[in-house]
A and B are shown apart, each in its own frame.
Chain A
Amino acid sequence: MDAILFLLFAAIAVVCAINLVLQSHPISSALSLVGVMGSLAVLYLLLGGEFIAMAQLIVYAGAIMVLFIFVIMLLNAGTELRSKRHLWGMYAGIPMLLALVGVVAYIVRDVLPASGAVVFGSFQHGNPEDIGKNLFVNYLLPFEVTSVLILVAIIGAIVLARKEVD
């Protein structure tokens, strides 16, 4: 059952990622990226990271991607023009890419030791309480530094994007 869930959402993630690379309009790419983030959130849940899964939904899919979609809608970015050369590149490149992925996967499975199976529910430390204890005791300094980083980013974004006052 866990493997079927993994395969389903991994397939959705890969299809959405391919869609992101292939679509010509940025809005379709943005929505495909939201699909990738959603399926990755489910995979985090399978790996026992429930706080990270919800943070992915709230922060990444719910705020950052909305910002992307706003900018795309405001700028009215049209469809992208395709460069007409390199068609032979696509016909030769995709089978070679798949072959490369197959060879690398085979080598990884042969050389590295067998990894255990990911059983849903066997990792119990992903809940907010344990993450909070670890974050605010061991990683307090990076936490404070990232808050300063966000403040700098807010000020930078406001300064860059404001209207010129003439």
Chain B
Amino acid sequence: MPPLPIPEAAPLSWYLILSAVLFALGVAGFLFRRNIITVFMSIELMLNAVNLSFVSFSYKLKQNDGHIFSFFVMVVAAAEAAVGLAIILTVFKNRQTLEIDEVSSLKN
């Protein structure tokens, strides 16, 4: 079998394309899923894709500021996950449902 044209090391653009693909999948999950928790997890997927983008650019610029931004994104995601899950628990206690279409008493 002839050797496939895989380069020795992956160019940086491949990392950025992967980040874009993961972000797009996160947006797809956010828009098309109906369970609140899955929507929340799609948000976390988007944040992870952005972290990958930060670290890739930090590699390109040869500074570690991107790593520090990524670290702060993780911290904020942790805080957001805690408060968001507490809100989800409260919504479940009051409405007994986890579908975002049914939590619609403010509609119309």
Contact = CB atoms under 8 A, between A and B. Distances in A.
Contacts of B16: 108
Nearest to A90: B32
The interface residues of chain B, by DSSP majority, are classed as helix
Nearest to B80: A153
Interface residues of A, number: 79
Contacts of A59: 74-75, 78
Interface residues of B, number: 68
B34 to A, nearest CB: 6
B35 A77 contact: yes
Contact of A68 (B14, B26, B32, B81): B81
Interface string B71-107: 1101111111111011111101000001100000000
Interface of B: 6-18, 20-22, 24-26, 28-29, 32-35, 37-38, 40-42, 44-45, 48, 51-52, 55-56, 58-60, 62-65, 67-68, 70-72, 74-83, 85-90, 92, 98-99
7 smallest CB-CB distances across A and B, nearest first, come from A153-B79, A115-B12, A117-B9, A160-B86, A6-B10, A157-B86, A2-B9
